[in-house]
Amino acid sequence: MAESSVLHGSQSGFRAGFVAILGLPNVGKSTLLNAFLGERLSIVTAKAQTTQRRLLGICSGPSFQAVFVDTPGLLDPRDPLQRSMRAEALSTLDDADVVLAVVDAGFRPSIDWVEGFRTPAGRPALLCLNKVDRIPAVEAERLVEGWSRGGGWAGVHRTIAHRGDGVEALLHAIVDFLPESPPLFPEDDLSDVPVRDLVGEMIRETCLEELSDEVPYAVAVRVEQFREPAGNEPTYIEALLYVERESQKGIVIGAGGRTIRKIGTRSREKVERFLEQRVFLELRVKVLANWRRKPNHLRLLGFRIPAEET
């Protein structure tokens, strides 16, 4: 921080700040973050509640640094894990310089929900209508016009996040509302999340893709070992997959170990692409009874527990 102030302190007009990305589950928040960065940093799946913790994605340009904070989708929590997820999402409002509220055009979100959302922030909030490929163009236009007329919003934008449509314009609009400030992070940094945790997330993403119903939600991943390559050897990564019950352990392993092998192969391919290195990935499955309901277990797995539950 001190170093970057010295490096950039004399540059006037540089803008930097935190941008909280908030919205209901599955609206495309993580896809948007990745589109801003041009990098597949945050995990994305077709299933709701993919993101469980906040994740910084640092987007640095010649005259700005937008520090995006991807958050878990806001929902009415049903268990301690979901309470942790909601608290984590809402806590990002405290530090946000700009709020980016994302809604899914396909759900024709009501104006009440959209308006209620903006209230707690008290700082510039932009509204992003994502997935506009799912509704006729005239309807998207009508929604954007209606919400823009309502005032209040610092801007209303349309995007198709997975294709990158509208993302550049949205980024420019966000940067206009960032405060004048030197960069907050070194400009080469992509995130504040350690690489081993990003690897854990890639494994969890694969579990969400390969397992069905409630099972993938009962999987928590912890990377136990991460050894940089020595000479020609691949990077060695060992991860534990925690499930809540013996029966789930059987499902994750699959007949003759087929499922866990597939999860392992697909995860390894993702990690190799991300690290641009050869990887040896070892997965083990362990039962941590009802971890989603137990604050102590959640803490062990690195989740923050809201103050009222400690």
Q: Which residues contact 190 (CB under 8 A, 6 or more apart)?
A: 37, 39, 41, 57, 58
Beta strands in 155-278 (DSSP E): 155-158, 220-227, 235-243
Q: How many residues appear in the chain?
A: 310
Residue with smaller CB distance to ligand GTP, 72 or 183: 72
| Position among 40, 123, 162, 196 found at the interface with ligand GTP (CB under 6 A) | 162
- Residue 51 binds Mg ion, judged by CB under 5 A: yes
Stretch that binds Mg ion, among 43-51, 96-104, 106-114, 212-220 (CB under 5 A): 43-51
Under rule CB under 6 A, residue 30 binds ligand GTP: yes
Asked if 26 touches ligand GTP (CB under 6 A), the answer is yes
Shortest distance, position 132 Cβ to ligand GTP, whole Å:
7
CB within 8 A of 63, min separation 6: which ones? 11, 13, 14, 15
Binder among 60, 65, 130, 248 for ligand GTP (CB under 6 A): 130
Measured distance CA(28)–CA(46) in Å, rounded: 9
Q: How far is the CB of 44 from Mg ion (least distance, A)?
A: 7
Per-residue contact string for residues 64-83; x = within reach of ligand GTP by CB under 6 A: --------xx----------
Chain position carrying tokens 């984590």: 88
Residue 82 contact partner, candidates Mg ion, ligand GTP, none, CB within 5 to 8 A by sort of partner: none
Task: Give the Cβ contact number of residue 12 at 10 Å.
Answer: 6
**Exposure string over 240-276, b if 16+ CB within 10 A, otherwise e:** bbbbbeeebbebbbeeeeebbeebbebbbebbeebbe
Judged by CB under 6 A, which of 27, 81, 173, 198 binds ligand GTP?
Answer: 27
**Site residues (CB under 5 A) for Mg ion?**
29-30, 50-51
Q: Which residues bind ligand GTP (CB under 6 A)?
A: 23, 25-31, 44-46, 48-51, 72-73, 130-131, 133-134, 160-162
